Structure 1
Amino acid sequence: MTFSNRLIQWYLENKRDLPWRNTTNPYKIWLSEIILQQTRVAQGLPYYERFIETFPTVFDLANASEEQVLKLWQGLGYYSRGRNLHKTAQIIVFERNGTFPKTYLELLTLKGIGTYTAAAIASFSQKEVVPVVDGNVFRVLARYFDVETDISSATAKKEFTALANELIDNKQPDLFNQALMEFGALQCVPKSPNCSMCVFNDSCAALQKNKVALLPVKLKKTKVTERFFNYLVFEDDKSHSLIQQRTAKGIWHNLYEFPLIESEHELNEKELTRQVSIASFLTNKLISIKAYDEKSVVHILSHQRLKIRFWELKVEGKIEKGISKDALRALPFPIVIFNFIEKNF
């Protein structure tokens, strides 16, 4: 039995019943693929269901505001995915009359759709014979064929795509792609896979050579930057707060936050008071300032480690353009700020 036949047979017997696998609708497939980028299925599934309920069609998504989309995306991270999702929906609706591109190459022209996502949509909705290559595929092929190419290298994607292209089932490219990714997600997992129960344990090169734990090879390490955020939670006579929108490019673009002082180290109360005195957030007289918690909240992003502290600042009078605590909940915030609001307001 060939590699692809054995893989597809395994998939049909072991696959998870996921809603986007029961459709050829490119909108639903595209939505699921964007949500699942760098996201576990268990985390992404509730978001997919909420998006489909709120925006049943690409027309509904296109006609929503970006703020609505980001609010629904809240907590998924990598918010550029949500912004690109919205922009691409608008392109499909307003420039293409609601029709998705049908080929891999056409799909690549859309914002936020790279080679992986284009291949997934094209193969799952149109049965186009184009391989899907993601982290799971890197791992399965590297182990099965004993490929020692560094997967973080510039040539890796091309090499693994060529290999997958040789293996793909031309009659069932959709099933083959789903099977290869599912096999990596459920069976050929990153750490301590159960090789004794694997359908390929008689032919896997890494298993025969005792190299399962060594593959795939990834030499490049991500440099993590540490940053210190001090969020100023102002409160006036009416318990109104002040918020702002992050308009600069970078993390959390277009999401809301409390006024921010970023520092080079963790600030104590005296240091923060000095910083606030020279900033121009408000003209209201400051009554008191204190930290909500003794320790900072550590929030990990892919390339950044944020140490976040929230400070309560009571001020006299009414804050101009202040917002009530109830109104805060309707806006899209980074999840670390949303959790703070839920806990303290």
Structure 2
Amino acid sequence: MPWRVSPADKAAGVRPDPYAVWMSEIMLQQTTVAAVTAYFRAFIARWPTVADLAAAEDADVMAAWAGLGYYARARNLLKCARVVAAEHGGQFPADHAALLKLPGIGPYTAGAIASIAFDLPHVVVDGNVERVMARLHDEHTPLPAAKPILTAHAQALTPTTRPGDYAQAVMDLGATICSPKSPACGICPWRDPCAARAAGTAPELPKKTPKQAKPVRHGTVYLGQRDDGAWLLETRPEKGLLGGMLGWPGSDWVAASEQRPVAPPVEARWQKAPGEVRHTFTHFHLMLDVMVARLPTDAAPSTGHFVAAADFRPSDLPTVMRKAFDLTRK
């Protein structure tokens, strides 16, 4: 992992970069290491310091984040970078309480930065750590109710010596050995004290409260291209889903029973593209109809702005909007 510093390197005097630790932890929220690695490398190459990121254009950062999902993280990334640059001299504070005051940093991220970057003895609890603690203590209280119980177990084990190495070790233990399915108990360094292994309950832990079925929402997007190749796009409102991201004009996303006719952004011969876009967000499934039209060069849309063909990059779009574009290409 490019944001990691090994114990051997630490012994040679190399210290973790708090900026890299923070960046990786924000990106890794609800996202896999495999998906994050390329984005992390690209961000660090383009904005090597927190001051560089703080000075970046919002649109550039949002475009670079496109495809990684959970776009509120990108907005908070910029907010946090600017606070660190303006109020902390471009250096992340080596203080857990001060870290918690920064935009987009909660207890988990503050604990990760404090322990990994500054070697302060603060507990770090992600999904992997929760699984390890549940099995180590044979804890059957279902998540999310079990969170404070598992956090207390993790806190009790957090050492004052090398807490950052310890935190990463437990996360890695959960990711590689104490895995969700078929845990490799035979090679686990904690196999002897593990209460769930002794009880034979490890594979069924941690217990989870059943999730409610996700509702389905519907909407329409309008993909209009002028005769000169320019595309009609809009920047979504700062607040709300996909806030600040580039996207196609369209309707609100509502339940089927709440759908109402929506006027297109400009008068044209709109035609429905075959098929539909399907996308899943954290709290709902989305189904989008895609309307396409060729627009005259003097088109005056009621919303959005035109982006020249030479400046348009589908990769700058969030995934659901890129799916709509891909549907028209077919």
TM-score scaled by length of structure 1: 0.84
Cα deviation, residue 190, structure 1: 1.0
Kept in 2: contact 1:124–1:174 (CA 8 A): yes
Kept in 2: contact 1:243–1:259 (CA 8 A): yes
SS at match of 1:166: helix
Larger deviation, residues 20-29 vs 41-50: 20-29
* Partner residue, 1:139: 131
- Matching of residue 83 in structure 1 with residue 41 in structure 2: no
- Matching of residue 336 in structure 1 with residue 326 in structure 2: no
Kept in 1: contact 2:273–2:291 (CA 8 A): yes
Cα deviation, residue 122, structure 1: 0.5
- Matching of residue 254 in structure 1 with residue 244 in structure 2: yes
* Partner residue, 1:13: none
Cα deviation, residue 235, structure 1: 3.0
* Partner residue, 2:2: 19
* Partner residue, 1:289: 270
- State the alpha-carbon separation in 2 of the partners of residues 46 and 310 from structure 1: 30
- Matching of residue 120 in structure 1 with residue 100 in structure 2: no
- State the alpha-carbon separation in 2 of the partners of residues 236 and 59 from structure 1: 39
- State the alpha-carbon separation in 1 of the partners of residues 104 and 71 from structure 2: 12
Kept in 2: contact 1:152–1:220 (CA 8 A): no
Distance 1:201 1:99, change over 3 A: closer
Kept in 1: contact 2:277–2:287 (CA 8 A): yes
Kept in 1: contact 2:292–2:328 (CA 8 A): no
* Partner residue, 2:281: 301
Unaligned runs of 5+ in 1: 1-17
Q: Which amino acid aligns with 2:4?
A: R
Kept in 1: contact 2:250–2:264 (CA 8 A): no
* Partner residue, 1:33: 25
- Matching of residue 235 in structure 1 with residue 230 in structure 2: no
* Partner residue, 1:67: 59
**Equivalent residue pairs, number:** 314
Distance 1:44 1:319, change over 3 A: same
TM-score scaled by length of structure 2: 0.87
Deviation string, structure 1 residues 210-260 (Cα, Å, up to 9, x no partner): 212321121152552211121111233334332222116321011121111
- State the alpha-carbon separation in 2 of the partners of residues 225 and 248 from structure 1: 24
* Partner residue, 2:37: 45
Deviation string, structure 1 residues 95-132 (Cα, Å, up to 9, x no partner): 22212111111110101011111011011111111110
Kept in 2: contact 1:232–1:311 (CA 8 A): yes
- Identical counterparts, % of pairs: 35
- State the alpha-carbon separation in 1 of the partners of residues 50 and 203 from structure 2: 43
Cα deviation, residue 25, structure 1: 1.3
Cα deviation, residue 307, structure 1: 1.0
- Matching of residue 205 in structure 1 with residue 195 in structure 2: yes
Deviation string, structure 1 residues 110-164 (Cα, Å, up to 9, x no partner): 01011111011011111111110111111001011111222212xx333222211
Kept in 2: contact 1:229–1:260 (CA 8 A): yes
Unaligned runs of 5+ in 2: 6-14
Of residues 278, 302, 306, the one that matches 1:322 is: 306
Distance 1:316 1:103, change over 3 A: closer
* Partner residue, 2:99: 107
- Matching of residue 184 in structure 1 with residue 174 in structure 2: yes
SS at match of 1:234: strand
